């Protein structure tokens, strides 16, 4: 029996070339001190595998048609065996992939691993980053709930503002002038056929390049990279001190990927995917879509920017950013690799991270959105011994929507300034002027409030902050 099995194996190996295929793994040498800082790329690849497996599983049940997509997702979420878990994995897998890809990018940049002879690894890496973001973007719409749909549509319509081709691109993406049933089919096709195919090809090439050019050795301050002699120097290093990729280096990748998997399983199981919001209303633009976290910072840029600039920035920022990213290995592909000797390069990274971080924070707060779900102030508890005038003022404050944009105490939106202490800043007349005239971001209430109503609101705002201060626990529910 054993003999038979060995024979079968030998046949498969001889005709199928399995050993030959795996040989590079065993014979491929890597520099000796390639340590834990080198696991980000393989972990990103591992996340891609998770996405493939979970994506295909979701595809078994998902129906890419505008009439039934939402129901099929509800079915996956509520009834299908492991459905909600797998949806959670796919969602967290996407987040993890983007996060780890970012770390991989930062590591490669800080170590200047993009320099000779690995420029092509960098270029394909930038392409892969673009593709991964496109995958996240197209996947969001497949959720086919209000949030997912309108986040994608807002972005697609931003694209429409690109001069000259904008309209055509956006028409192509949406399958029409605005969102419609066909949009879903387009995004589905892009998300499961087109972009994965391109992604797999480039990933394979990216990984092939790692074997062809070797893993970059950790940089050392003062050791300059000379393209003329590098390949020979690197080969000598491997000959003298190299260790086989399998098993000496790959075990770290395996352990870290396992760790990523455990984290993903825990998140998918205990947190799950974002709850589906209501089904999309295609005839009614949703005012307040909340994109997935990796896009909030981009939304923040557009929300904070003066409107007239948006079209240009929409067009120029990705263009300039893309050209800059691609050109990095051409700006400098030799010389110093150590981050200790490249202070400006490192300062640049820190700056970019800080900028994206703060935009992300702002985007998360979404201060430009009125908070339509703000709890109304209660006229009884807010000002216990209030006069009739003040009570009417509180009521108007609720019903006229002031609280969507203004905070009092711990309640309300933050699009406009907090009004808890406004009585110390403004006189009665100044308040009235502001409310009647509005401003760029505040509607003018002159036409909709009577003189008496105005007096009432202002009487309320003029209260000292203590009697205005409103604690949720006293809330007599609306």
> Which residues here bind ligand HEC, judged by CB under 6 A?
370, 400-402, 404-406, 415-417, 422, 425-426, 431, 434-435, 439-443, 445, 457
Q: Given the complex with ligand HEC, which of 104 and 369 has the nearer CB atom?
A: 369
Residue with tokens 């699009």: 415
For the bound state, the minimum distance from the C-beta of residue 302 to ligand HEC, rounded and expressed in Å, comes to: 18
Supply the minimum distance, in Å, between the C-beta of residue 151 and ligand HEC.
21
Of 154, 156, 147, give the one whose Cα is nearest residue 187: 156
d(CA 374, CA 116): 56
As a whole number of angstroms, the distance between CA 221 and CA 336 comes to 7
User: Of 79 and 430, which has the nearer Cβ to ligand HEC?
Assistant: 430
CB 449 to ligand HEC: min, Å:
7
**234/470 with CB nearer ligand HEC:** 470
> Which residues sit opposite 411 in a β-bridge?
408
- Residue closer to ligand HEC, measured from CB, 180 or 469: 469
Nearer to ligand HEC, 306 or 343 (CB): 306
**Structure tokens belonging to residue 31:** 């520099």
Contacts of 375 (CB under 8 A, 6+ apart): 411, 472, 475, 478
Helix (H, G, I), strand (E, B) or coil at 225: strand
Minimum Å gap between C-beta 419 and ligand HEC is 6
- DSSP code of residue 371: -
CA-based nearest residue to 28, from 178, 212, 270: 212
CB of 217 to ligand HEC, least distance (A): 55
Please report, for residues 118, 127, 235, the alpha-carbon distance to residue 208 in angstroms, rounded to integers and kept in the order given: 12, 15, 18
* DSSP state for residue 219 in the 8-state scheme: P
Cβ closest to ligand HEC, residue 98 vs residue 300: 300
Give yes or no for a contact between 94 and 164, defined as CB atoms under 8 angstroms apart. no
Residue 41 or 416 with smaller CB distance to ligand HEC:
416
Closest distance between ligand HEC and the C-beta of residue 362, in Å? 15
Shortest distance, position 472 Cβ to ligand HEC, whole Å: 21
Record the tokens describing residue 333, joined without a space: 């592909």
Identify any residues that bridge with 250 across adjacent strands, giving them in sequence order.
none
């Amino acid at each position: 029996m054993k003999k038979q099995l060995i024979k079968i194996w030998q046949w498969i190996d001889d005709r199928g070339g399995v050993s030959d295929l795996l040989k590079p793994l065993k014979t491929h040498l890597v520099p000796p001190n390639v340590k834990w800082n080198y696991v980000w790329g393989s972990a990103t690849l591992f996340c891609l595998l998770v996405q493939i497996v979970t994506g295909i599983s979701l595809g078994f049940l998902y129906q890419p048609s505008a009439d039934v997509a939402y129901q099929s997702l509800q079915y996956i979420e509520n009834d299908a065996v492991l459905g909600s878990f797998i949806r959670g994995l796919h969602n967290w897998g996407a987040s993890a992939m983007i996060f780890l890809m970012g770390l991989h990018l930062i590591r490669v940049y800080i170590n200047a691993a993009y320099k000779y002879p690995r420029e092509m690894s960098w270029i394909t890496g930038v392409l892969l980053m673009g593709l991964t973001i496109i995958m996240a973007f197209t996947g969001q719409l497949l959720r086919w709930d209000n949030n997912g749909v309108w986040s994608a549509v807002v972005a697609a319509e931003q694209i429409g503002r690109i001069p000259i081709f904008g309209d055509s691109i956006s028409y192509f993406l949406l399958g029409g002038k605005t969102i419609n049933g066909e949009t879903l089919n387009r995004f589905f096709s892009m998300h499961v056929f087109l972009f994965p195919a391109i992604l797999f090809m480039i990933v394979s090439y990216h990984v092939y390049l790692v074997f062809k050019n070797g893993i970059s050795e950790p940089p050392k301050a003062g050791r300059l990279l000379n393209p003329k002699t590098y390949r020979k120097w690197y080969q000598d290093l491997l000959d003298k001190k190299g260790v086989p990729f399998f098993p000496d280096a790959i075990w770290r990748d395996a352990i870290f990927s396992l760790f990523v998997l455990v984290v993903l399983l825990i998140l998918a199981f205990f947190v799950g995917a974002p709850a589906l919001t209501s089904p999309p209303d295609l005839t009614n633009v949703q005012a307040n879509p909340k994109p997935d976290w990796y896009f909030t910072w981009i939304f923040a840029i557009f929300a904070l920017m003066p409107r007239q600039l948006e079209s240009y920035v929409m067009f120029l920022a990705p263009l300039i950013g893309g050209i800059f990213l691609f050109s990095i290995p051409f700006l400098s592909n030799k010389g110093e690799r150590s981050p200790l000797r490249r202070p400006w390069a490192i300062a640049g990274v820190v700056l970019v991270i800080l900028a994206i971080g703060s935009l992300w924070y702002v985007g998360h707060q979404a201060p430009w959105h009125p908070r339509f779900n703000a709890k109304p102030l209660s006229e009884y508890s807010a000002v216990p011994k209030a006069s009739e005038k003040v009570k009417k003022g509180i009521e108007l404050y609720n019903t006229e929507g002031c609280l969507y944009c203004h905070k009092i105490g711990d309640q309300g939106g933050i699009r406009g300034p907090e009004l808890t202490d406004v009585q110390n800043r403004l006189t009665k007349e100044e308040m009235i002027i502001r409310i009647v005239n509005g401003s760029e971001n505040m509607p003018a209430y002159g036409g909709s409030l009577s003189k008496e109503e105005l007096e009432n609101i202002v009487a309320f705002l003029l209260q000292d902050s203590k009697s205005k201060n409103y604690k949720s626990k006293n809330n007599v529910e609306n």
